Every structure is written in C-alpha cells, then in structure tokens.
Amino acid sequence: MVKKRTCIFISGYGTNLKYLINNSRNQNFPIRISLVISNNKRAKGILYAKKNSIPYLVINTNKRNFENLILKELKKYKISLICLAGYMKIISKKFLNAYGKKIINIHPSLLPKFKGLNTFKRILKNKEKKTGCTVHFVNEKLDGGAKIIQKSFFINKNDNEETLKNKTQKLEHRAFSEAIVKIFRYN
C-alpha cells in the first residue's frame, strides 16, 4: 500500500497529532505524516513532531501571504491530505480551491450542533443529554462539510467543562484514525 503523504495542522497540545503519529506507524494505516504545520510557535504539539523526526513548520498567520507560503510547502512535500487537529484558524475559500485535495477536521461536538468555539460551555448551558466529536470534510462554511464519523457519549449531572473535554478527547483520539481509514477504504 502506498501511504498518502499527510500534513497535520495544529495550534495547541497536539494530542490528536500524537495518536495519529502512533497509528501511522502501522503499515496498514493509509497515511504517513510527512509534515506538521503550526500557526503557534508555542504549540506543545510541535514536540511530537520533533520527537518523531517529522518535519514541521511554524507559520506566521499575520503575514499577508501566509496561505501561499503554506501551499508552497504542501507542494514541496507532495501532501495529498490535510488533517486539521485543533487548528484554530479558519481555512479560506481561496486556500480550499487552490489546494484542491482532501482536508478533514475534528470538532468537539456532534455537528451540526455547537459549531465554533467554547463548545463545552455551550453544551452544558443547553443541558444536552449527549455529546461527542465529529470528523468531517472541510468546506467554505465553518464546521460545515460532510460528516465522515461521529462518536458520542451520555452526559451525566456531575460533568463539567473539564470532564466533558477529557471524555470528548478520548473519543477523538480513536475517531480521527477511524475516519482516515474510512475515507481511504476504497482507494
């Protein structure tokens, strides 16, 4: 199997990146992580790239042409899949069109519920019975593309933002890899 060369975009802790790196070591897993891009030079996730000798780049998104710089690197590393793993920047329509290949994102809610930020606070405020995570294709609408996989759990009355986050992330760590296997099952 020829593994798809993949770039993971991060902004923070990178725990999803860590699980993707581990799973990509399996020879039957459809991707190899060829590049990590962070928009935050202090992102802890960069350490996982360093530890595993994966090339990484810190991109200054305040620069006017930062998307062109990213596109150039994606081309250089022959990237055919982008995974947004806690990347807290919106991907522009221009970038989507220029890249033209698959981009997937993980979001900590059962989309289409609770798009955007501060999901756990809003989930609790809304007294939801269930929550979870979604992996979906990225389109020009925020958290709006087609769903690939969702995993859920029941919220109990003792849950708070912290426990919801922990439970959601535990599911995310499996969901992201399962979604990747699913999208490459037939090619």
Q: Is 16 in the site for ligand GAR (CB under 6 A)?
A: yes
Task: Quote the strand ranges of the chain, DSSP E.
Answer: 4-10, 31-38, 56-58, 81-84, 102-107, 130-137, 147-154
- Tell me the C-alpha distance between 131 and 155, whole Å: 7
- Tell me the C-alpha distance between 8 and 79, whole Å: 10
**Which candidate in 18, 107, 136, 167 is catalytic?**
107
Strand duo 81-84 + 31-38: pairing: unpaired
Q: Which of 3, 13, 113, 174 binds ligand GAR (CB under 6 A)?
A: 13
Q: Is 132 in the site for ligand GAR (CB under 6 A)?
A: no
Whether the CB-CB separation of 177 and 20 falls below 8 Å is answered with yes
Whether the CB-CB separation of 17 and 173 falls below 8 Å is answered with no
Catalytic residue flag (residue 173): no
Query: Which of the stretches 69-77, 101-109, 156-164, 179-187 binds ligand GAR when contact is defined by CB under 6 A?
Result: 101-109
Q: Which is nearer to ligand GAR, 75 or 121 (CB)?
A: 121
- Tell me the C-alpha distance between 80 and 11, whole Å: 21
Q: Which of 8, 30, 45, 54 binds ligand GAR (CB under 6 A)?
A: 45
Q: Which of 6, 8, 15, 46 binds ligand GAR (CB under 6 A)?
A: 15
Least distance from ligand GAR to the Cβ atom of residue 176, Å: 9
Q: How many residues bind ligand GAR (CB under 6 A)?
A: 14
Q: Is 137 in the site for ligand GAR (CB under 6 A)?
A: no
Q: Is 169 in the site for ligand GAR (CB under 6 A)?
A: yes
Task: Give the Cα-Cα-Cα angle 38, 39, 43 (nearest 5 degrees).
Answer: 60
Query: Which of the stretches 1-9, 11-19, 51-59, 68-76 binds ligand GAR when contact is defined by CB under 6 A?
Result: 11-19
Residue 101's closest CA among 72, 85, 81, 75?
A: 81
Query: Residues in the site for ligand GAR, rule: CB under 6 A?
Result: 10, 12-16, 45, 85-86, 106-108, 169, 172
- Which residues are catalytic, by number? 107
